[in-house]
């Protein structure tokens, strides 16, 4: 039995945050019903490699769900959602503040019908303040959360080329929902959860990215940034590797392995603090020595003395590495519309067992009639709603 079996979730979303959060909950056993517009559905369906109305990006964030088409701008469509909301455990959306209220589907209205409902509202910047209605995509939040400044420096910001803030927000939402479900077990009451991408991104970045912005007393001593020590590409004769010698003892083992043990006696590097202060000089000396080795030679030397190191793998090499096979991380499944589909299994193991992928990613509106029938709508009402253009 999966941990969240018996929990039902209504999802209203475009793009990543709410979709990925509810997909993770679906992988853990929840029934997730994705409510999509009648015209073309979630725009993520059409971004990148795709077959028909399902892209690989959409598939990566929406497997395990049922899809229904409803026009939420109609009173009849809103009435259907209110009927469904009275019977579900969680509602999750990532629309701008005020949007669901304008559709008569805000938290107060729905929790009046169902006090046990957990209502997760994801926004870009929060429900108050000058940016509350501002559009928010991942690079916008990377810019506002300090993520770009951390990557390249305050004067030369650089972006992480991944939808990182979207995904961080999704993980945060997933954890918050399960916490609220646990709280409901004790209190019997649901609740509203407000979550912003900005807060999620800043919370994620703060421990290491803002090390010198946390201690505010005058006697606090600024220190070297851990990220400056760890993240560096070490060039070799035939390419490059990454080395993460994160403390002085590891640095000593690394220097001994590559024949630079004499640097331990250099006053400039005699403590970790001094090494960090003279990091540019230290790295220059190490870099010059590493150019004498091939990548494989250097990796062998460092692994022999248990210094963390790795070749930076290509995407093909990532998928081919033996460790993923040992972890049972990758699955290839047959999808009725997409053909053979590669996916990564949900990371947690429950009771030592890997969760197998749940139902296939749905086509747009694939489950409309079946889901509405499950929620008590008879065929006559479904047919009437469809003839009125409420259902796709």
Q: In what order do the strands lie in the sheet with 118-123?
A: 65-69, 31-36, 8-12, 90-93, 118-123, 191-196
Query: What is d(CA 93, CA 157) in angstroms, rounded to the nearest whole number?
Result: 31
| pLDDT given for residue 221 in this prediction | 79
Is residue 276 within 8 Å of residue 228, measured between CB atoms? yes
Which tokens go with 339?
């053909």
Query: What is d(CA 302, CA 89) in angstroms, rounded to the nearest whole number?
Result: 52
Give residue 68's region: left, alpha or beta (phi > 0; psi -120 to 50).
Answer: beta
Q: Token pair 């220190």 is at which residue?
A: 223
At the fourth CATH level, which superfamily is domain 8-206+328-387?
A: Crotonobetainyl-coa:carnitine coa-transferase; domain 1 (3.40.50.10540)
Give the bridge partners for 332, in sequence order: 342
298-330: buried (b, 16+ CB within 10 Å) or exposed (e) per residue? bbebbeeeebebeeeeeeeeeeeeeeeeeeebe
Length of the chain: 392
Distances (CA, A) of 132 to 78, 105, 127: 25, 19, 5
Concatenating the DSSP letter of every residue in 21-64 gives HHHHHHHTT-EEEEEE-SSS--GGGGSSSEETTEEHHHHHHHTT
Per-residue pLDDT of the chain (392 residues; tens, 9 = 90+): 899 999 999 999 999 999 999 999 999 999 999 999 988 899 999 998 989 889 999 999 999 999 999 999 999 999 999 999 999 999 999 999 999 999 999 999 999 999 999 999 999 999 999 999 999 999 999 999 999 999 988 889 999 999 999 999 999 999 999 999 999 999 999 999 999 999 999 999 999 899 888 888 888 877 767 777 777 889 999 999 999 887 888 888 999 999 998 988 888 888 777 877 888 898 899 999 999 999 999 999 999 999 999 999 999 999 999 999 999 999 998 888 888 989 999 999 998 888 888 889 999 999 999 999 999 999 999 999 999 999 98
Q: Give which of 152, 101, 129 is closest to 198, Cα–Cα.
A: 129
Using DSSP bridges, classify how beta strands 8-12 and 90-93 pair: parallel, antiparallel or unpaired.
parallel
| pLDDT given for residue 311 in this prediction | 92
Is residue 16 within 8 Å of residue 170, measured between CB atoms? yes
Q: Token pair 């009435």 is at which residue?
A: 79
For 149, phi then psi, to 5°, come to: -65, -35
Query: What is d(CA 70, CA 372) in angstroms, rounded to the nearest whole number?
Result: 11
| pLDDT given for residue 148 in this prediction | 94
pTM assigned to the model = 0.91
For 129, phi then psi, to 5°, come to: 90, 170
Structural domain boundaries of the chain? Answer: 8-206+328-387, 244-315
| pLDDT given for residue 10 in this prediction | 98
| pLDDT given for residue 225 in this prediction | 73
Using DSSP bridges, classify how beta strands 191-196 and 90-93 pair: parallel, antiparallel or unpaired.
unpaired
Using DSSP bridges, classify how beta strands 31-36 and 65-69 pair: parallel, antiparallel or unpaired.
parallel
Using DSSP bridges, classify how beta strands 191-196 and 118-123 pair: parallel, antiparallel or unpaired.
parallel
Give residue 288's region: left, alpha or beta (phi > 0; psi -120 to 50).
Answer: alpha
């Amino acid at each position: 039995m999966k941990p969240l079996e018996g929990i039902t979730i209504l999802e209203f979303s475009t793009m990543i945050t709410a979709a990925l959060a509810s997909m993770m909950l679906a992988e853990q056993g929840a029934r997730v019903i994705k409510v999509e517009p009648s015209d073309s559905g979630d725009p993520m369906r059409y971004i990148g490699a795709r077959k028909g109305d399902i892209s690989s990006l959409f598939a990566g964030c929406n497997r395990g769900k049922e899809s229904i088409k409803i026009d939420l701008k109609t009173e009849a469509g809103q009435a259907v959602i209110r009927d469904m909301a009275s019977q579900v455990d969680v509602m999750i959306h990532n629309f701008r503040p005020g949007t669901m209220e304008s559709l008569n589907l805000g938290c107060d209205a729905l929790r009046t019908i169902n006090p046990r409902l957990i209502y997760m509202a994801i926004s870009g910047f929060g429900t108050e303040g000058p940016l509350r209605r501002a559009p928010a995509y991942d690079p916008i939040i990377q810019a506002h959360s300090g993520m770009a400044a951390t990557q390249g420096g305050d004067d030369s910001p650089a972006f992480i080329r991944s939808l990182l803030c979207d995904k961080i927000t999704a993980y945060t939402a997933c954890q918050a929902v399960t916490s609220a479900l646990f709280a409901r077990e004790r209190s019997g009451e649901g609740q509203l959860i407000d979550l912003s991408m900005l807060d999620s991104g800043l919370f994620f970045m703060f421990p290491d990215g803002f090390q010198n912005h946390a201690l505010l007393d005058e006697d606090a001593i600024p220190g070297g940034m851990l990220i400056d020590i760890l993240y560096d590409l070490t060039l070799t004769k035939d390419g490059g590797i990454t080395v993460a010698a994160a403390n002085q003892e590891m640095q000593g083992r690394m220097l001994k392995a590559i024949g630079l043990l004499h640097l331990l006696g250099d006053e400039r590097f005699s403590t970790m603090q001094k090494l960090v202060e003279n990091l540019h000089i230290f790295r220059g000396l190490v870099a010059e020595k590493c150019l004498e080795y091939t990548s494989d030679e250097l990796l062998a030397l460092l692994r022999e003395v248990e210094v963390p190191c790795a070749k930076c793998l290509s995407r093909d090499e990532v998928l081919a590495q033996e460790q993923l096979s040992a972890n049972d991380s990758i699955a290839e499944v047959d999808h009725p519309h997409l053909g053979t589909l590669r996916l990564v299994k949900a990371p947690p193991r429950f009771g030592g067992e890997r969760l197998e992928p749940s139902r296939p990613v749905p086509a747009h509106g694939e489950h409309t009639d079946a889901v509405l029938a499950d929620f008590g709508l008879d065929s006559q009402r479904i047919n009437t709603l469809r003839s009125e253009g409420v259902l796709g």
